Structure 1
Amino acid sequence: MTTTITVEGMSCGHCEQTVKEALQGVSDVTDVTVNRESEQASVDGKADVTALVEAVEDAGYTAHA
């Protein structure tokens, strides 16, 4: 299953990497793609969307499903 969330506040490649690493740390995530231009993160796996949003927000960005 792929879940797409909106991530606001990314301005560079480092931001993308930080968000990607935060999402990869969530249980049941198998793959993550982050695009700062579209402000989207696509997450493969069975992770709960609330856990994904919380991980991004804990990393310092605004996120919503």
Structure 2
Amino acid sequence: MYQLQVEDMSCGHCVASVTKAVKALDAQASVEVDLASKQVKVQSGVPLEAVTAAIADAGFPVSAAQ
């Protein structure tokens, strides 16, 4: 599972956009977004670099990932 910090999220639309970006890479991915802490947890077989790139391409740069 990847844990990402995505500071630019501020609303439900942001959550939907981030989730959609990850699901476009892996439709079976599990995506949990905590808007209050601005954390995204992703369970996927797709490499971390691809996940962070997809989220950044959706307009939400990832500030930290593990």
Counterpart amino acid of residue 45 in structure 2: K
C-alpha separation between the residues in 2 aligned to 1:41 and 1:29?
Answer: 16
- Within 2, Cα distance between the matches of 1:34 and 1:40? 6
User: How high is the TM-score relative to the length of structure 1?
Assistant: 0.85
Q: In the TM superposition, what are the counterparts of 1:48-59 in structure 2 within 5 Å?
A: 48-59=47-58
Alpha-carbon distance change, 29 to 40 in structure 1, aligned in 2, over 3 angstroms:
farther
Equivalent pairs, count: 64
Runs of 4+ that moved beyond 4 A = none
Relative distance call for 1:46 and 1:28 in structure 2 (3 A) is: farther
Structure with more of its chain in strand, by fraction:
1
Q: What are the ranges of 5 or more consecutive residues in structure 1 without an aligned counterpart?
A: none
In the TM superposition, 1:25-40 aligns within 5 A as: 25-27=24-26, 30-40=29-39
- Structure 2 gap ranges (5+): none
Q: Percent identical across equivalent pairs?
A: 33
Greater RCO (CA < 8 Å, at least 6 residues apart): 2
Partner of 1:41: 40
